[in-house]
Structure 1
């Protein structure tokens, strides 16, 4: 699949209503990006494949749960895309986006308002936020796995699941994290990068 294949409701396997929400999101992303650099300019022309499709696959790896928390949400990937899909697929799921950058938080709130999804933004550093008791925890391009598991220990329910897209170095990160943490992992091959995977992690505790 290339990025052009992800620019229709059929290719993403979503309804027209959900696709219109995604279009509104992408429109605002392109409008805001020159000022606050939400995504790399090199990837903006491929936003549907490199960012939207990449986030859609994260949403589809887990079953709906009451509270989904996305850490370091930045330009809204994957958390805000997941919230848009959840508006129809899982309307009772509450999404919380944690983003310390005030300008990026303003962007996220603008998209939430325009798309009318069940989502809120916490504009604080992840370490300073009170434990969020998430059923599902996601983060993309935020930190290495060891640091992400530290965040899981703070913000993920004991019976919760974390979903982390990871690039070509994921095996090295896994080995390092296993020296400090206990956890179980399932891996799913990424649809957007042959070297990448999505890690589905449960049972996080200190080693």
Structure 2
């Protein structure tokens, strides 16, 4: 099933993902906040605003569905979060889970902090930083929406992962290609799931096995 229109998006959230009324209320408020702030700074492309529930809300929320498993309790790390997708949506849907939103642009992080406060989400931690400068530490889930090519993303962020960490990486039409190009030095259990919001897009899902190693020079040498 591909969710294509706004009514389908909200129906999918309620009927498939099982979002309750407080969750839908938080998401509706997030949409309002985003539309207002997008008049002041370009959080998302204006052309996506008429389809905001499909292109941003469900596109983010589907990560709680496509993993096909119960995501372990623990901190969710969203790298290069931008306007808060997918991390802020996840936090609104799972207010019991600590969610860390990382972005290197102060205007974005200032807005994310205001939005988290307006949505009454004390589970959200907003960090103004480059990924390279973050302190290492394990997380239960790592997400990154179109943040960097897969090999580069792993080089930057494998230090936040354990063999139990689930990676959820929306990658658009290049998902399968990026996974195929991943150097063999990465000992992984990744696969591609079909996006629910774009028939041409995929989501890389899986884990890094114990002993997965970063070999930046080898990775760069194998790029085409």
TM over 0.5, shorter chain: yes
> Who is 1:3 aligned against?
5
The answer to whether 1:24 aligns with 2:32 is: no
Determine which structure has the larger strand proportion and give its number: 1
Which residues of structure 1 form unaligned runs of 5+?
Answer: none
1:111 aligns with 2:115: yes
Which stretches of structure 1, 4 residues or longer, exceed 3 Å deviation after superposition?
7-13
Aligned equivalents of 1:63, 1:148: Cα separation in 2: 21
Q: Are 2:165 and 1:160 aligned?
A: yes
Distance 1:3 1:64 in 2: 31
What is the distance in 2 between the residues matched to 1:121 and 1:19? 22
- 1:7–1:48 CA contact under 8 A, matched in 2: yes
Pairing partner for 2:90 from 82, 97, 106 = 82
Give distance in 2, aligned partners of 1:83 and 1:3: 23
Task: Give the aligned length.
Answer: 203
Give the aligned CA root-mean-square deviation in angstroms.
1.7
Deviation per CA, 1:80-108: give whole Å up to 9, x if none.
10111111xxx1x2111111110100111
- Give distance in 2, aligned partners of 1:45 and 1:182: 41
Gaps of 5+ in 2: 216-224
SS of 1:50 mapped into structure 2 = helix
How far is 1:179 from its partner?
4.2
Deviation at 1:123, TM superposition (A): 0.4
Per the normalisation by structure 2, the TM-score is 0.84
Moved more, 97-106 or 151-160: 151-160
1:37–1:130 distance in 2 versus 1, CA, 3 Å? same
Per-residue deviation at 1:138? 0.3
Between structure 1 and structure 2, the one with the greater Rg is 2
Counterpart of 2:135 in structure 1 is 130
TM, length-normalised to structure 1: 0.91
